[in-house]
């Protein structure tokens, strides 16, 4: 059995709380009765990785060399496959994959599979400006027949504040009125669920409250990774 179990590598730091959230979910969701039954997990938490949205929208320093270095560190340290708890970073995933020898599990792909199996066909996606412009979700979801609707410009600006000035800045409280009103409008127009399309947003949902039936890609990725690593997730 031992030789079938895989070690997980996490390319982290984007941001640190989102990385900790994935790590915590991997532990909490693994069906283990003692320490020795948990998964071997390696984490490279580098918060100095350049901002992904800035690179996509404004051509600032690319995070790709940092992602490659992190992936190589984890591979050298013994990781069998990689997870990236940063959705905007998935824009660089193809180039990253070409530079390493071990697979990367896509948070976007796993979320699309889960939505399809749940027969959800139309969702609100809450994501960074960079993720939206790069169509990170759109390129994958279209293959699964899932329609995406995004917040209006005003609500999108409010969403970016939730991510950057709220969660990433460590704010314990945040006014969600404008964003939640837009979510309610989109749900009333036919969306079935809300995808938390930035890894800070599951944290925002707990701290500040986000309306709707929430789909947590970090949670979905953790469950898929546990299975791929050769372990059993809790029911």
Residue-wise pLDDT for 16-68, tens only, equals 999 999 999 999 999 999 999 999 999 999 999 999 999 999 999 999 999 99
pLDDT tops 90 at residue 6: yes
Over residues 171-183, mean pLDDT: 97
Determine what percent of the chain is predicted with pLDDT higher than 70: 99
Selected catalytic residue, list 34, 149, 152, 198:
198
If phi over 0 gives left and psi between -120 and 50 gives alpha, with beta otherwise, what is residue 229? alpha
**Cβ neighbour number for residue 159 with a 10 Å cutoff:** 28
Question: For 74-130, what is each residue's pLDDT tens digit?
Answer: 999 999 999 999 999 999 999 999 999 999 999 999 999 999 999 999 999 999 999
Over residues 166-181, mean pLDDT: 97
Provide the pLDDT for residue 3: 55
Residue 135 is given by DSSP the state T
pLDDT tops 60 at residue 1: no
Structural domains of the chain, ranges and CATH numbers in brackets: 2-106+219-228 (3.40.50.1860), 108-217 (3.40.50.1860)
If phi over 0 gives left and psi between -120 and 50 gives alpha, with beta otherwise, what is residue 22? alpha
60: Cα separation from own chain's centroid: 22
Looking up tokens 């959230």, which residue turns up? 21
Q: Which residues contact 209 (CB under 8 A, 6 or more apart)?
A: 176, 180
Task: Tell me the whole-structure pTM to 2 decimals.
Answer: 0.95
Burial class (CB in 10 A: 0-12, 13-18, 19+), 121: middle
Is 86 among the residues known to form the active site?
yes
């Amino acid at each position: 059995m031992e030789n079938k179990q895989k070690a997980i590598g996490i390319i982290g730091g984007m941001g640190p709380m989102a990385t900790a959230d994935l790590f915590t979910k991997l532990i909490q969701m693994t069906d283990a009765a003692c320490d020795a039954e948990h998964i071997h997990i390696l984490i490279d938490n580098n918060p100095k990785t350049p901002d992904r949205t800035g690179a996509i929208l404004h051509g600032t320093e690319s995070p790709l060399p940092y992602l490659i270095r992190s992936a190589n560190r984890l591979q050298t340290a013994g990781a069998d496959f990689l997870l990236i708890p940063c959705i905007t970073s998935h824009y660089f995933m193809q180039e990253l994959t070409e530079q390493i020898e071990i697979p990367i599990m896509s948070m976007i792909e796993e979320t699309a599979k889960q939505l399809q199996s749940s027969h959800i066909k139309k969702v609100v996606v809450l994501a960074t400006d960079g993720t939206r412009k790069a169509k990170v979700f759109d390129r994958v979801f279209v293959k699964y027949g899932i329609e995406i609707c995004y917040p209006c410009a005003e609500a999108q600006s409010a969403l970016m504040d939730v991510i950057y000035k709220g969660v990433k800045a460590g704010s314990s409280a945040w006014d969600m009125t404008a964003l939640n009103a837009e979510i309610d409008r989109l749900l009333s127009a036919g969306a079935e669920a809300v995808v938390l399309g930035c890894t800070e947003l599951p944290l925002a949902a707990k701290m500040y409250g986000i309306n709707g039936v929430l789909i947590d890609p970090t949670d979905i990725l953790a469950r898929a990774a546990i299975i791929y690593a050769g372990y059993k997730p809790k029911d």
